[in-house]
Structure 1
C-alpha cells in the first residue's frame, strides 16, 4: 500500500468534511443572525417609537376614588404635568397597552404628548374622570370644581417626593376646562389647555392671585370654542398673564402624516388607508377631507377596516379615527408643538420666551426630540436609572 497517497487522500477528504461543516455552521449563524437581527430591529423600532427609555414605566392605581396612571422620567423631574382627558376618553390613552396597563390605548396624539413630557423631564400623571360609564366627561367640575383632583395631585406629589417642583396642568376639551380650573385650588406654574375655554370668571383667582402663564391650542373651524378662547385670552392679557395661542388648521391625510403620528401604521398600511378614504369619497385626490369624518364613519370605515386588519375603528379608541379627525381640525386633541409649549411654560411663559418659535429654539438647545425611529438624547447626553426621588 502507498501510505503517502493513502494519508494524502484521507487528509483531502478530512479537509472537505471540515469545509462542509464550516459552511453549514456559517449558514446557520447567518440565518440566526438575520432572524435575531430582524427581531431586534423590530423590537428596537417599537421601543424607539414609544421612546420607553425616557420613562420609568407606567403605574396604575386608584387615589381618592379615581383612576390614576403615572410615569416618572428617568432623570430627576424638573416638574410635574397633569393630563386631563376629554369626553369618552381616559387617562390611560397616553400609554401603550402593557401587562401593567391592559386598558391603555396609546393613541397617536396622546402618546406624543407623553413623549414630550418625559423628554422635558416632567413627571406625568393622568387622572380619569369619575364618570366611567356615560360620556366620561369631567362632570364633577359642576359638583366640586375640581377639588378632588387637586387633592389627588397633592397626595401623589407628596408620595413621590416632588413637593416644591413646578406643577403644570394639561387637558383637552372637557379636560381643558379642568386644567384651567385647577389654579383656583392649588398653586399651578402653567396651564396647557386644548380646544376648550371657560367662563372668564374662572380665570379670576381668589385673594388677588395672578393666573399662571397659559397656552391655548384651538381649532378656528370650531367657531364657538374659538370665540370663548379669544375672550379668555383677552381677559388674561388684561391682567398681565403671559398667554400663548396656537391655532390648528386642517391638513391633508397623507401617508407621511399617518406613519409619522402612529407607530401602528406602516407605509403599506398608510397607502391602503389613504386609497380607501379616497374611494369612499371622504378624501379628495389632494388628500383634503371633503366632510367631517366622525359623522361619516359608516361611509369610510367598511373600506378602511380590511386594510388595517385587527386595528380598531371604534370611536375614540382608534388610531385612524383620531388622525382623520385631527386632519379635519374642528375638535380633537393635538400634539403639534407640544415640546415647545412645555418649554415655554417651564421658562415662565412670556417672561423669558417671546413665542412659539423662541420656545422651539430653546427646546432644541436643551435637547432635541426626534419622532421617527431615531434614538433621542437628553441635553445631558445620558440616562440615569429609574429611582424614587425622595
Structure 2
C-alpha cells in the first residue's frame, strides 16, 4: 500500500504518457460522437451536406435526353440508360406533371426540370434505372379507371422498349404516393416508395404479396406522421417488409439556391439569401420561419427592382424553400437510400 504523498516511479515514466494519450483520445472520440449524432440520433450535418449537392454533379455521368409521346390520353416521358437493371415509374403530386422531371430540351420543349424531380431522375439513371413518368389526367391522381390506364401504359411501354425481363419499381409523391399504393394492388411491383404520403392502406384489402414499402416523410407534418406509423403497423402485421426515412429541416445558405437550381447564378443566390434575412423569412441560423408557400417572398422580390432573373425559375425557388422548411415537398436528398431500397428488392 502506497503512503500518502508517495509517487510511483512507473507513473512518472512512460506509463503516464500512455495513459494521458489514451485519456485524450477517449475525450476526442466522445466529442466527435456527440457532434455527429446529436439531435435524437440523427446526423445533423447529413441533410445539410447532402443539400449542397449541385444540380450539375451528374453531368459527367448522365444527361437528360428523354423520349416523349402522348398515349392513352396523357403525357408519357421516359429515358433509358445503357444496360438498365430495373424500371422505375414516377408519379408526381397534385398540380404536377411528367414534364417536371426533365429539363427543357429539343425532345421536350415544355419540360421545366424542377430541381428535386430532375435530381431524382439523374440519380436513378446514374444507378442504371430506366425511368418513366406519366402525367395524371386531372390536377391530382384518381384511383379507379386511371390506375388501369397507367397500368396499360406501363405494359405498352415495357413491351415497346423490350424491358420485359427487368424488375419494376415505383415512387410516388403526395397524391402520386396514394396512387402508387393502389397501383401496387393491380400490377406486380418489386417494391415501392411512398413520399410524403401515407398510402390508401386503411381503404384497401392488403394481401401478403403486397410489395415491400418504404415511407419517405417529413415528421413536422404530425398528422401524416401518425398515419404512416399506423400504416406501417398494418403492413408489418401482414408480414410485408416496411422501412421509414424521416426528412428534417435544414438551414439555407448564400449558395444553396445556386447549388440546387440550374440557371440561377451565385450572385443572385447570395442576394436572395440576404433578402430573406432582411425580411425575416429566415432566423439567425438560416432556418425558414414558415413554409415557403406561406411566405411573401414573391412580393418581396417585386419590391426589389434590382433583382432581375428568369421568372421561369420562380417555381424552382418555391420548391427549394418548401424543402428547406421540410413539411410537404418532393425531395431528392435521400435518393441514395431510396435507390438502395429498390436495389435490395430486385436481386
Q: Please, what TM-score do these two structures have when normalized by structure 1?
A: 0.70
Unpaired runs of 5+ residues, structure 2, are 1-53
State the match for 1:61 in structure 2.
Answer: 69
Correspondence for 2:86: 79
Residues 1:233 and 2:214 aligned together? no
Deviations 1:240-282 (A, max 9, x none): 2222211111111113432332232332221111001112221
What do the CA deviations read for 1:257-310 (whole angstroms, capped 9, x no partner)? 323322323322211110011122211222111122212235544357853511
Alignment of 1:223-372 (within 5 A): 223-297=222-296, 298-302=298-302, 306-307=306-307, 309-312=309-312, 314=314, 318-348=315-345
Relative to structure 1, the CA distance from residue 261 to residue 164 in structure 2 (aligned partners, 3 Å threshold; closer, same or farther) is same
Per the alignment, residue 111 of structure 2 pairs with 104
Partner of 1:95: 102
Q: Retained in 1: the 8 A contact 2:90–2:171? A: yes
Measure the CA separation in 1 of the matches of 2:285 and 2:91. Answer: 35
Larger Rg over CA atoms: 1
Question: Residues 296, 58 of structure 1: CA spacing in aligned structure 2 closer, same or farther, 3 A cutoff?
Answer: same
4+ aligned runs moved over 4 Å, structure 1? 46-50, 303-306
3-state SS in 2 of match to 1:294: helix
Residue 308 and residue 123 in structure 1: after superposition, are their counterparts in 2 closer, same or farther (change >3 A)?
A: farther
Displacement after TM superposition at 1:231 (Å): 1.4
How many Å apart are 1:115 and its aligned residue?
0.9
Native 8 Å contact 2:64 2:103 kept in 1? no
Aligned residues of 2:55 and 2:261 also touching (Cα < 8 A): no
For 1:304 and 1:244, the matched residues in 2 are separated by 45
1:166 & 1:312 partners in 2: Cα distance? Answer: 37
Q: 1:120 aligns with which of 112, 123, 127?
A: 127
**CA gap 1:72/1:234 in 2 versus in 1, 3 angstroms:** same
Q: For the residues of structure 1 that align with 2:124 and 2:310, how far apart are their CA atoms?
A: 30
Shift of 1:48: 4.6
Partner of 1:163 in structure 2? 164
Which structure carries more helix by proportion? Answer: 1
Matches within 5 A, 1:9-48: 48=56
1:137 pairs with one of 137, 140, 152? 140
Aligned residues: 293
| Preserved contact between residue 301 and residue 307 of structure 2 (Cα < 8 Å) | no
Contact in 2 for aligned 1:76/1:121 (Cα 8 Å): yes
